[in-house]
Chains A and B, each alone.
Chain A
Amino acid sequence: MSDLLKILLTSHVLFGLIGVSLLFVLTTSLLKINPPVIAARRYALGAALSFFASWISGGMYYVMHYGKSVKPIILAGEYPWAHFIFMEAKEHVFLFLPFLSLALFIAISYAKEVPPSDTLRRSLVMVSVATFVIALIVTLSGIVISGGAR
């Protein structure tokens, strides 16, 4: 694997993990009765930017290398389902994450203007939890795919 591909793969993983971590912090901060709305807004924006960066770096790695070199190894190995189920699903479900995070950022920006009601805060928590859970599933799928290629 070339240095460029190593950098792309590492960036994809790192930005993805930063995004997941920020979603966790965002969710816990929104769970507070008086949530720190300005900080929450920053966490959501940070998560969205991280997922966009992870999308670009991971996408380049996927298009340039995965299909030609990694996929055949997984399919020839003992765990072809790692590609057929987890990679296929992960590469598509991942696409939700930047847009969910961006929508959260914009919705929290409104909540910054008005003191968020308890029901609005709960709705924000629901979307934040869903985004975090999806990001976690995507991360775990990445681990399964890496295992399938060994």
Chain B
Amino acid sequence: MNEPMNQKKLLQAFSYTLSATVTVVFFTLITIVADVFLPLKDWLKLTFTHHWIGKGVLGFVLFFVSAMFISLLPLRLIDQSLEKALRILFWTSLLGTLAIFSFFTFEFLSRLA
């Protein structure tokens, strides 16, 4: 296994890759849950004037806060840790996209039924 030449940079890259995964999961879940559980959508509207603005603001904050939190953890990383985090981000982003499109397609078809 390769010893990283720059542990600090590696930890930064790892933290932001993982926080992007957390953010993608958050956007996917809040999109679906807020459409099914309307009090959440109403709370987003009430707090941020529009549910979509609320999701965006919360995701933006989550991205940077989770990256900061992960970078504070006492992790001993190697190059493979970043590779693994990138692969997780790859699958999460594709599955998140598929989940959101499938959800709205299913919701539209339910309206027709």
Nearest CB in chain B: distance from A129 CB, A: 8
Interface of A is mostly: helix
Residues of B close to A59: CB separation below 8 A: 52-53, 56
Query: Does A33 belong to the interface (CB within 8 Å)?
Result: no
Query: How far apart are A78's CB and chain B's nearest CB, in angstroms?
Result: 14
Contact of A96 among B17, B87, B96, B103 (CB under 8 A): B96
Are B108 and A107 neighbours in the complex by a CB distance under 8 Å?
no
Q: B6 contacts which of A62, A88, A113, A137 (Cβ < 8 Å)?
A: A113
A14 within 8 A of B: no
Q: Could you tell me if A99 and B24 are in contact, using CB atoms closer than 8 angstroms?
A: yes
CB of A55 within 8 A of chain B?
yes
With A89-B104, A92-B55 in contact, do A120 and B16 touch (Cβ < 8 Å)? no
- Among candidates A93, A123, A134, residue contacting B82 with C-beta atoms closer than 8 Å: A123
The digit string for A99-116, where 1 denotes a CB below 8 A from any CB of B, is 110110011011001100
Q: Does A119 contact B (CB under 8 A)?
A: yes
Using an 8 Å CB-CB cutoff, how does the interface string of B48-61 with A read, 1 for contact, 0 for none? 01101101100100
Which B residues have a C-beta under 8 Å from some C-beta of A?
A: 2, 4-6, 9-10, 12-13, 16-17, 19-20, 23-24, 27, 31, 49-50, 52-53, 55-56, 59, 63, 79-80, 82-83, 86-87, 89-90, 93-94, 96-97, 100-101, 103-105, 107-108, 111
